[in-house]
Structure 1
Amino acid sequence: MSVKKRNGALDLPGDNSFSEEYITLGGSGKAEYSERKSVFIACAAPVKSSSEACEFVKKIKTEYSDARHTAYAYLISSENATRYSDDGEPQGTAGIPILGVIQKGGFTDAVITVTRYFGGILLGAPGLLRAYTTAASEAVKKAGIVRYTSFTEFCVICNYSDYQKIISEFSRLGIREDKTVFEDSVCLSLAVMTSGYDTARDKIKDVTSGRAKIDITGTRFDF
């Protein structure tokens, strides 16, 4: 038996099989913004769950324990969870604008905190909204945004002569070969963008005159 295997499969947070695109932060990001002597320190990170988001907030609050406020927001798609906190700022001036940065950015499974060191000058609601939004946005820029596409994983079992016909279609159909096992028959573990699965399936049936056995085995998100 011989095996060919493709490396680099991604383990993305959450169950996002309902969507054909998954957008999240590419990593952690940190930014600082000043507004009339108040300093706002924003930290953004990708997270897999609400508990992980809460741990991140706790860590930031410990790191900046001498600050007056650490507002935050997070959104976890797999749990349908959206949370935010003004942490003592006037209602709606901190947590909501941070959440707005996440929602307007179209990404998910992310947490953003903004810690404020008060500079002695009251900013008023407009100033706070601007400061928290700007700081959060800058942290997101530092973190970067990545987009993943939904791929349908499927298995094809065929004879050796049909194998050559099938692989000749890979490039045109955008099929990725994850693993191939050569025994009495050939068993191919393949993946293709979900939007192109029906076309790929029908073409494989066509070139093998219906002899190939095709079964969906799962979904994943990949570049």
Structure 2
Amino acid sequence: MAKDYKTVLSNAKDEFVEKRSRFIGYCKPVTCEQEAVDFINEKRSEHWNATHNVYAYSLREGNIKRYSDDGEPSGTAGMPCLDVIVKNEIYDVCVVVTRYFGGVLLGTGGLVRAYSHGTKIALDAAKIVKMQNCLVCSARCTYNQYGKVSALVTDNGGAVDDTVYEGDVLIKFHISPDLISQLNKRLADATSGEVQAVSDEEKYYAVEV
């Protein structure tokens, strides 16, 4: 069975000013290293006149983790960005924190805090979600059974994706694999064994954290 994991829902950015330095945190969901590199290069091009374009990314495939200080003192920028990603157990994500220097030195601790904060606000803006591995299911029932069956699906942890009304009713839904047997038992009890959920594939669905 595939493992659940956390990622981000969408592209996003947020920014703040620390001692006149402007920090812009960008975040994007990515599925491979090339997508991460393309995103980093896009931000470097967009902010060609910035003092630094620091990045960090983490990928599930191959458990790849990379970062760059982009000219900041070693260990004060890229690693703090990656630390935020790793500590939150987020995968398939790339963060770029752009800095426009404001003339006031922040010091080692100040840089670590600033880049960590830039990463955090970017992740929050992109919305962290749990990608839950679910069974893609369907249950066919009569119109008289429909209300009872659909209620049992949702009451037992399923989420209805579509309902097809034909000669009978086909309810399409997804559910965690460890909940399907309990659901089928309750469907059987409620319909004298006439209705059972069937599944032919597994798929990831985003659930808000």
TM bucket by the smaller chain? 0.7 to 0.9
CA distance in 2, matches of 1:176, 1:136: 32
TM-score (norm: length of structure 1) = 0.72
Q: Which residue of 2 aligns with 1:13?
A: none
TM-score (norm: length of structure 2) = 0.76
Q: Of 111, 117, 121, which residue of structure 1 is paired with 2:100?
A: 117
1:55-66 matches, within 5 Å, as: 55-66=38-49
- 1:95 Cα deviation (Å)? 0.7
Q: Of 6, 12, 18, which residue of structure 2 is paired with 1:34?
A: 18
Are residue 219 (structure 1) and residue 203 (structure 2) matched? yes
With over 3 angstroms needed to count, the CA separation of the structure-2 counterparts of 1:50 and 1:167, relative to structure 1, is same
With over 3 angstroms needed to count, the CA separation of the structure-2 counterparts of 1:141 and 1:192, relative to structure 1, is closer
With over 3 angstroms needed to count, the CA separation of the structure-2 counterparts of 1:116 and 1:165, relative to structure 1, is closer
- 1:77 Cα deviation (Å)? 2.5
1:61-118 superposed Cα distances (whole Å, 9 cap, x missing partner): 1111122321100122245322111122222111110112222334332221122334
How many residue pairs get matched? 205
**Greater length-normalized contact order (CA 8 Å, ≥ 6 residues apart):** 1
- Contact kept in structure 2, 1:17 and 1:219, CA below 8 Å: no
Q: Which residue of 1 aligns with 2:81?
A: 98
Deviates most, 207-216 or 56-65: 207-216
Identity of aligned residues (%): 31
What code does the residue aligned with 2:3 have? Answer: F
CA distance in 1, matches of 2:66, 2:36: 10
- Contact kept in structure 1, 2:187 and 2:196, CA below 8 Å: no
Q: Which residue of 2 aligns with 1:127?
A: 110
Structure 2: runs of 5+ lacking an equivalent: none
Structure 1: runs of 5+ lacking an equivalent: 1-15
- Contact kept in structure 2, 1:29 and 1:141, CA below 8 Å: no
CA distance in 2, matches of 1:25, 1:222: 8
CA distance in 2, matches of 1:93, 1:103: 16
What code does the residue aligned with 2:8 have? Answer: T
CA distance in 1, matches of 2:124, 2:140: 45
